[in-house]
Chains A and B, each alone.
Chain A
Amino acid sequence: MVPTNYYVILSAILFGLGVFAFIFKRNIITIFMSIELMLNAVNLAFVAFSQALGKLDGQVFVLFVIVVAAAEAAVGLGIIILIARNRQTLNVERVDLLKL
């Protein structure tokens, strides 16, 4: 049996990498993908704990997370398309209309 700790540490590593990508990448779509990465990391933690505690609640929650991630991806990509149309760029640093 793989100890639960290992899964959780892996989840933490993936989450950290996701945050890293979130901060340091400049393409909007890549940033969005890093969010998906973070969500996946969390899903892994949920399932690992679900197995450790012997309950299925974790897995149910994972299902819901996946559903919400899907909805979010749909809407988010729609927004990205609009941004790309309006600003003619996919560089997030060019999207600075709120700057004074």
Chain B
Amino acid sequence: MTAPLVVFFVLAALAVIGAISLILQKHPIHSALSLIVVMVALAGLYLLLGAEFVAAVQIIVYGGAIMVLFVFVIMLLNAGVEEHTSISKMAGAPGLLLVVALAAFVAATIARSADSIQSTSQAGEMSSTLGISGMIFKEFVYPFELTSFLILVAVLGAIVLAQREKI
């Protein structure tokens, strides 16, 4: 039981508990906080995988921006405890079956092809930040510019949507 393995299991358990908590909580604010726990755990896992830049971005953008946005909206809308209705007939037994089927498929697909993947010990020829930045501005410069455009559109959209109607 090497150290990385132990760390992995701890972080993994944390992530799974957070996800289950997201499902089981009744108030959305508690679900949001559970999600933050998941994200932090995942950031830890990224660090374990040697992706520092991604881990940092995960915390800053996901945890610091997106989840904060979620929490603000929950507070703004004064979301209360979820009421219990069950009008949808599909989201019951069929849904459960489908979830199980989906998980099974995904696991089986991965298991079937996972044998061909062996983890190479990559001690990092270069630090990931350096490498990623190089790739972003060389090979992936076009998608990068597009995503900036995408963010602009999203911001505009959000503003238009959330405007208070002119009285």
Contact = CB atoms under 8 A, between A and B. Distances in A.
The reply, when asked whether chain A contacts chain B directly with Cβ atoms under 8 A, is yes
Interface of A: 1-10, 12-21, 23-27, 29-30, 32-34, 36-37, 40, 43-44, 47-54, 56-57, 59-60, 62-64, 66-75, 77-82, 84, 90-91, 93-94, 96
A54 B126 CA distance: 11
A37 B34 CA distance: 10
Interface residues of B, number: 83
Contact of A21 (B22, B42, B121): B22
B51, B53, B58, B157: residue with the most chain A Cβ atoms closer than 10 Å = B51
A79 B161 CA distance: 7
17 contacts: A10-B15, A12-B107, A21-B23, A29-B77, A33-B32, A33-B70, A43-B58, A64-B143, A66-B57, A70-B65, A70-B66, A70-B151, A74-B69, A78-B158, A90-B77, A91-B82, A96-B87
Interface in B116-167: 117-122, 128, 131-132, 135-136, 140, 143-144, 147, 150-151, 153-155, 157-158, 160-162
